[in-house]
Amino acid sequence: MSLDARLIVRRPGFTLDIALGAAPGEVVALLGPNGAGKTTALRALAGLIPLDDGHVTLDGARLEKAPPELRRIGVVFQDYLLFPHLTALDNVAFGPRCRRVPRREAREQARDWLTRVGLADAVRKKPRHLSGGQAQRVALARALAAEPRLLLLDEPLAALDARTRLETRAGLRGHLASFPGATILVTHDPLDALMLADRLVIVEDGRIVQTGDAATITARPRTDYVARLVGLNLYRGRADGTTVLLPGDFALVTADPQEGDVFVAFAPAAVALYAVRPEGSPRNTWPATVTAVARHGDALRVELAGPIAVAADVTPAAAVQLGLQPGRAVWASLKATEATAYPAG
Amino acid sequence: MPLAWVLARAEFPGRRLVRALVTVPLVLPPVVGGVALLLVFGRRGLVGGWLDATFGVSLPFSTAGVVVAEAFVAMPFLVISVEGALRGADARYEEAAATLGATRWTAFRRVTLPLIAPGVAAGGVLCWARALGEFGATITFAGNFPGRTQTMPLAVYLALEQDLDAAIVLSLLLLVVSVAILAALRDRWVTS
């Protein structure tokens, strides 16, 4: 049950143009900032908005002209859209009933699905009496009970509070693993994408800017948006061996030799700060001015201006010792081994 | 109902015109409505002539004529309240139903209709209540034949000239029924 699609949707001032593929059993995450066109892509796949161009091919069958009810593409909507006048059981039984399964049997199937998502005791509840996490699971069960060939999830965890989110995410991961078809997941939360998906597709402004597995994306971001998501400093420059010349004639020394147009990435924790110019091993040092200090997990994240804008993580103790506050002049240093360069072409 | 669905969901040129036409009977003096119906469905009217020639059916001054006249005047109440309920109902529930394999008709029947049921009921009752009190269009289009086309308000009007006591009794009866209906309806509005 593999998906192959090229989605082109034109709107005034915005064009979505992405190619998507997914193998049976694979979970692909569409990750991108708000307004990037992720949800538009999902609605186009489901047939809820027409394509201006392109195609949707599922198992070799062209679907772009088919109405949504004939596509057998299941959708879990962001706000779930459980039918408010039906019980959880009848919500889940809706899909089987539409396939002309007799009422009693459809209810049996629905009960099985609700048991699988751990809601055996909530079958008689109306959606307004369900908690957020329960509603999410009913929505998932409802989509799966219709036996879709492709499953689409639109920000499946966005409406949940942090705690419920953690539990629901773990459960969702299990259900996606046992779903035989391909799954496309839309999210703006990198954690959801990294935890749930086998492959990430980063969408910005209607276009795909990067694809790859979690390890590649987190180690080698290709746009500022991705770098910020995974928490890395990212620069683009020209490499000549292990020296990379960045805009502003600032040279960074990196570990691996490269030639030509490259990206350089390093973690904020790899940047060390000193009150006076350090001597010795670190190969990259430069003067910088603190512009902002904020809490970041156990550390403090320090934003620095200078020849390059950099984020650095320091321990609270070091921050106190250095007297870090906006306007403070410091020396920043970075070991060459901590900076990765990779081709930008 | 289909008219309300079209008005609420579909985008087409002339929708404003159609809505204006639907609501015209609300502001038109009912007598004028009756005259308009006579012109259209009368024996020599636009549609009436054809009906008479083809089926031998004649609407004016018949019981069916009463129904047509009252429907004409009262229908806007139903259409407008159902349209309002439809606009209030989230169209995305229909989309959710479609992704589960429901055809448009199934989605309407099993999802949208139950969601707008209070609006339909309220519209239906209002519509019926308006028809109950209908006078002008009925007497113009269907006349006032006891047993055939005489409605309660027509009977009250006649009784007023002949037998004041009967007129008062009939009037009180109408008043009680109307108040009862509207009271029940208000309750529905508040609770739903």
- The one-letter code for the residue type at A230 is V
The reported pLDDT for the residue numbered B181 is: 76
Q: Per the CB < 8 Å rule, is A83 touching B97?
A: yes
- Residue pair B130/B73 in contact (Cβ under 8 Å)? The answer is yes
A43-47, A303-307, B117-121, range with the lowest pLDDT: B117-121
Q: pTM of the prediction? A: 0.76
Q: How far is CA A158 from CA A80, B36, B171, in A?
A: 11, 57, 61
A145 vs A92: CA distance, rounded Å? 6
- Helix (H), strand (E) counts: chain B: 11, 0
What are the beta bridge partners of residue A342?
Answer: A263
Q: Per the CB < 8 Å rule, is A81 touching B92?
A: yes
Sequence-distant (6+) residues with CB within 8 A of A321 are none
Phi and psi angles of residue A133, each rounded to the nearest 5 degrees, phi first: -65, -40
- The one-letter code for the residue type at A31 is L
List the CATH code of the domain at A3-227: 3.40.50.300
Does residue A310 surpass a pLDDT of 60?
yes
- Among candidates B95, B101, B103 on the partner chain, residue whose Cβ is nearest the Cβ of A95: B101
CATH fold of A231-343 reads OB fold (Dihydrolipoamide Acetyltransferase, E2P) (2.40.50)
- Of A24 and B2, the structure prediction assigns the larger pLDDT to A24
Q: Per the CB < 8 Å rule, is B99 touching A94?
A: no
The reported pLDDT for the residue numbered A281 is: 62
- Among candidates B92, B93, B102 on the partner chain, residue whose Cβ is nearest the Cβ of A69: B102
What are the beta bridge partners of residue A303?
Answer: A292, A311
The reported pLDDT for the residue numbered B1 is: 57
CA atoms within 13 A on the CB side of A90: 11
Q: pLDDT digit string (tens) for B9-21? A: 665 666 777 777 7
List the CATH code of the domain at B2-20+28-191: 1.10.3720.10
- The one-letter code for the residue type at B163 is D
- Among candidates A74, A83, A85 on the partner chain, residue whose Cβ is nearest the Cβ of B99: A74
The number of angstroms, rounded, from the C-alpha of A74 to the middle of its chain's C-alpha atoms is 20
- Residue pair A203/A219 in contact (Cβ under 8 Å)? The answer is no
A213 vs A196: CA distance, rounded Å? 11
Q: Which residue from B minimizes the CA distance to A139?
A: B96
Residue ranges of chain B with per-residue pLDDT less than 50: 191-192
**Residues of B whose CB is below 8 A from A75:** 96, 99
Choosing among B94, B95, B99, which should be mutated to test the A contact, i.e. which has the most A CBs within 10 A? B99
SS (HEC) of chain A? CCEEEEEEEEECCEEEEEEEEECCCCEEEEECCCCCCHHHHHHHHHCCCCCCEEEEEECCEECCCCCHHHHCEEEECCCCCCCCCCCHHHHHHHHHHHCCCCHHHHHHHHHHHHHHCCCHHHCCCCHHHCCHHHHHHHHHHHHHHCCCCEEEEECCCCCCCHHHHHHHHHHHHHHHHHCCCEEEEEECCHHHHHHHCCEEEEEECCEEEEEECHHHHHHCCCCHHHHHHHCCEEEEEEEEEEEEEECCCEEEEEEEEEEEEEEEEECHHHEEEECCCCCCCCCEEEEEEEEEEEEECCEEEEEEECCCCEEEEECHHHHHHHCCCCCCEEEEEECHHHCEEEECC
B159 vs A164: CA distance, rounded Å? 72
| pLDDT cut 70: percent of chain A above it | 99
Q: Where are the domains of chain A?
A: 3-227, 231-343
The reported pLDDT for the residue numbered B192 is: 44
Q: Is the confidence metric ipTM above 0.85 for this complex?
A: no
The angle at the Cα of B142, spanning B19 to B177, to the nearest 5 degrees, equals 75
Beta-strand ranges (E) seen in B75-186 are: none
Q: pLDDT digit string (tens) for A207-237? A: 999 999 988 888 899 998 889 888 899 999 9
Q: Where are the domains of chain B?
A: 2-20+28-191
**Residues of B whose CB is below 8 A from A47:** 98
Does residue A180 surpass a pLDDT of 50?
yes
What is the β-pairing status of strands A3-11 and A53-58?
A: antiparallel
Average confidence (pLDDT) over A234-255 = 90
- Residue pair A247/A237 in contact (Cβ under 8 Å)? The answer is yes
Q: pLDDT digit string (tens) for A55-83? A: 999 988 999 899 999 999 999 999 999 99
Instruction: Quickly count: other Cβ atoms within 10 Å of residue A109's Cβ.
Output: 17
The reported pLDDT for the residue numbered A200 is: 93
Query: Which of A46, A175, A166, A197 is closest to A113 using CA atoms?
Result: A175
Mean pLDDT of chain A: 91
Average confidence (pLDDT) over A141-163 = 91
Q: What angle do the packed helices B30-41 and B48-55 form, to 10 degrees? A: 40
Q: Which residue from A minimizes the CA distance to B91?
A: A81
B85 vs A139: CA distance, rounded Å? 25
